[in-house]
Structure 1
Amino acid sequence: MLALAFLTALAADAAPQRTADPHKPTHNNGPIALTVPEIRRLFGAVFHPPTMPTARLLHWSNWRRHHQATARHSHYQRRATDESAG
């Protein structure tokens, strides 16, 4: 439980400020903020070094978060279109 609280605090500290309306996200082309599972995975890679180089591990993490940001943007865009039509 203490480890989960630590990871949650790290994720909250790394997260950018949110807008007041959750359906109107900030327009940011960067990756999503670090999540608890992503921080946990990165810490695991530090303490149990993977078979791949660290640069590749960090590149993969950055690519994954960019992909998630693109998916989030598409989701919000579709939701806004559905709400205006309905």
Structure 2
Amino acid sequence: MANTPQSKKRARQNDRRKVINSARRSRIRTFLRKVEEAIASGDKDAAVAALRTAQPELMRGVTKGVLHKNTASRKMSRLSARVKAIA
């Protein structure tokens, strides 16, 4: 348990950030799931649209420190390759 005033404050800040970060991570997952569903349905237009909306959301996660840059880039690359492969 935190004892000093500084460590108590850090614990409070960490609790607040955890809520914000988990919400942001959940939001990113939702956007990625929409792309996955569009790919699974085989609708290229919907998949492209979903990918376009997911891309800035992923990058926002990077700038906010929720995701690593390479992780977001890898996800974008793999998703875009799958969208492109839809006949």
Task: Assess same fold via TM > 0.5.
Answer: no
Q: Which has the higher contact order (CA 8 A, sep 6+)?
A: 1
The structure in which a higher percent of residues are helix is: 2
Structure exhibiting the larger radius of gyration computed from Cα positions = 2
